[in-house]
A = this chain, B = another copy of it.
Amino acid sequence: MKLTDRQVAHFHTEGYLFLPELFTEEEVAALRSEADAIYAERRPEIWREKSGAPRTAFAAHTYNEAFRLLGAHPRMIEPVQQILGERVYMHQFKINAKSAFTGDVWQWHQDYGTWARDDGMPEPRAMNIAVFLDEVMPINGPLMLVPRSHTAGTLAATHDLETTSYPLWTLDEATVTRLVAEGGIVSPVGKPGGLLMFHGNLVHGSAGNITPYPRKIVYLTLNAVSNYIRRPTRPEFIAHRDFTPIETVPDDCLIHYARAYRAATAQALA
């Protein structure tokens, strides 16, 4: 898995790169089922909306085999290492639900602001990745990105503890208005299996979801090993302390997992 020069240039100029249908429906179906099973659990890594609907399951790659395989998948790891120019480790791993009917807003923010302030990450040399588990549509609360905003540096932000159940360093309206006037807004959509990667300083947010279509994504951060976090303040399941470079798994491992998973499910129902 190697990006073209044009893809790499697009990332550096626009601050993001979208790879539609990078994983097959067969691969994603297993991840989707496992995500629903995880959300049904009660554990400290799983955070909920004010409504009680699941919002985020942290660190699923540490307690679920399917997500462990995804977290070390070469189709994801190799392009990111190509762009960052060195090996990477998993800084954060979450499954964001954006549930049908009640999926709540993520206000406009940059992620690197949080990594710097809360985790002591030296530089914005970590990559945000969204892997679509459901179809992402214009109407079910897609990620919205402000192209080229990653060149604005780390912007002043306010710690929002009110709007949603998740504390977030958010940007003010004047700043977002200015950046959108310059770069517009894009919201990549598409079938399950798409992968969106974007710069840690790219401004992004997402509206609520009132449709009957859930919009689960795996939302993870791969950090350059040399850029490991220096002053972590958040729990280990939010900001990982294991800085070992990821060893990729074979490219066909998720397919094999999915087939075994399907066979086991069929047997259980027989």
- A-side interface residues toward B, CB under 8 Å? 100-101, 105, 107-108, 138-139, 141, 144, 173, 176-177, 180-181, 185, 187, 205-212
Contacts and interface: CB of A to CB of B under 8 A. Distances in A.
Nearest to A209: B207
A141 B210 CA distance: 11
Contact of A176 (B144, B207, B212): B212
Given A101-B173, A207-B207, A207-B209, 4 more contacts: A101-B176, A105-B208, A107-B210, A139-B187
A72 to B, nearest CB: 34
A119 to B, nearest CB: 26
Nearest to A179: B212
Contacts of A139: 138, 144, 185, 187, 207
Nearest to A173: B101
A210 B207 contact: yes
- Copies of the polypeptide in the assembly: 2
B211 A144 contact: yes
A141 B206 CA distance: 12
A137 to B, nearest CB: 9
A11 to B, nearest CB: 22
A42 to B, nearest CB: 23
Contacts of A141: 207
Contacts of A101: 173, 176
A202 to B, nearest CB: 16
A101 to B, nearest CB: 5
Contact of A173 (B181, B209, B212): B212
Contacts of A206: 210
What are the 5 closest A-B residue pairs judged by CB atoms, nearest first?
Answer: A138-B138, A177-B212, A180-B212, A101-B173, A207-B210
Contacts of A177: 100, 212
Nearest to A106: B210
A134 to B, nearest CB: 14
A138 B207 contact: no
7 contacts: A101-B176, A138-B139, A138-B187, A141-B207, A144-B210, A207-B207, A208-B208
B207 A185 contact: no
Nearest to A189: B138
A232 to B, nearest CB: 30
A248 to B, nearest CB: 35
Contacts of A108: 210
A108 B177 CA distance: 29
